[in-house]
Amino acid sequence: MEPTIVLMKNIENTTLTPELPIDMRFNEGHVVSIVTYSILMIISITGNTTVLYLILQRRRRNRSRINTMLMHLAVADLLVALLMMPMEITWAATVSWPFGDAMCRIMAFFRVFGIYLSSFVLVCISVDRYYAVLKPLQLMDVDRRGKMMLLFAWIGSTLCSAPQMVVFHVEVHPNYTWYEQCITYNAFASDGHELMYSIFGMVMMYFFPLIIIIYTYSSILLEIYRKSRETLGPDRIRRSSLGFLGRAKIRTLKMTIIIVFVFFVCWAPYYIMSVWYWIDRESAKKVDQRIQKGLFLFACTNSCMNPIVYGLFNIRKTTQQRSRAPTIETRVSPLSLSVRLID
């Protein structure tokens, strides 16, 4: 899938004029890209590196499934921050593509690989939470199931990203022969094939993960609601009725709302613009360059939000609980208590 709306250059309509078209010269949209990507890269690297370090430290004592999945999520987001974002910054600064055809194809692959992987790992986490809350008795081979899901996430991301290396290539401008660009121009037999490829990317990167996330977490919420009704009988659900769920399940409930909200909000504007671009390309091109660039930039903030959301609910809370554990009169060790809360 082509993740940047304005990269497709309308080469055939370009005429030899004294001044280059706006998308072939450094403009305000490129300035927005460089500044924003730089900020996002710093935040993402700092946040995900911190989460990854804490998880690796924790894994010495606790190899829980959720910790393993959080580690893979942090790695996926770091791939976005370390590969995709620096490439976008450099590309915005040079405007054209001066790095050759081979590097064009390689970077086109990694441009979306981390994003696919991040989305697919979110699916793994949501499915794992679904089984942990709704089917707690089906725990046979649970660790093997978690590893298989993560394996499929990596394989699926590779397969979905591989076509990028085929459709992206370096093209020389017919009028400005010194100008080269890494684009998908002439890669598709027809506009219909291009549209199908774009829709495939949208479905696999956004709608497929979103549907599974909504289904799994909605099922969790419905189950919590049902058990609350059963516990309270004919009485109305009170604020204290969630007490029987325990801190771990309450934390899952809170995390549910934030997961769906962040994932949907970050990506929805970009895909709305993408659909507009497919339906009426001419009017979509008239949208301000800064807005067009900003939509995909905003979507990339999902990689910055992931360490905040998951770190807040799965690392910080567990650390606080472990620090209070010695004051609890129980035979359960602090370590086993933290394992139970986070699994």
What integer pLDDT is reported at residue 332 of this predicted model? 31
Task: Quote the pTM value.
Answer: 0.79
- Domain with 86 in it: 5-315
Angle between helices 289-300 and 246-279 (to 10 degrees): 150
97-122 pLDDT per residue, tens: 999 999 999 999 999 999 999 999 98
Residue 223, token pair as written in the block: 């189950």
The answer to the question of residue 284 being in a domain is yes
CA distance 189 to 178: 26
- CA dist 291 and 149 (Å) reads 37
* Closest C-alpha to 252, from 159, 317, 306, 208: 317
CATH number, position 161: 1.20.1070.10
Are 160 and 205 in contact, with CB atoms under 8 Å apart?
yes
343 within a domain of the structure (yes/no): no
Tell whether 335 is covered by a domain: no
Q: What confidence score (pLDDT) does residue 16 get?
A: 43
Provide the 8-state DSSP code for 141: T
Helix (H, G, I), strand (E, B) or coil at 172: strand
pLDDT at 69: 87
In the numeric block, the tokens 């007490």 are attached to 243
Domain count, the chain: 1
Q: Is residue 223 part of a domain?
A: yes
Domain-embedded: residue 329: no
Q: In order along the chain (343 residues), what is the average pLDDT of each group of 10 residues?
A: 43 50 75 88 92 82 79 92 92 90 94 92 88 72 85 96 95 84 88 89 91 89 77 51 55 72 87 84 78 81 82 59 44 30 38
- Residue 205 CB burial class (10 angstroms; 0-12, 13-18, ≥19): buried
Backbone angles phi, psi at 125, to 5 degrees: -65, -40
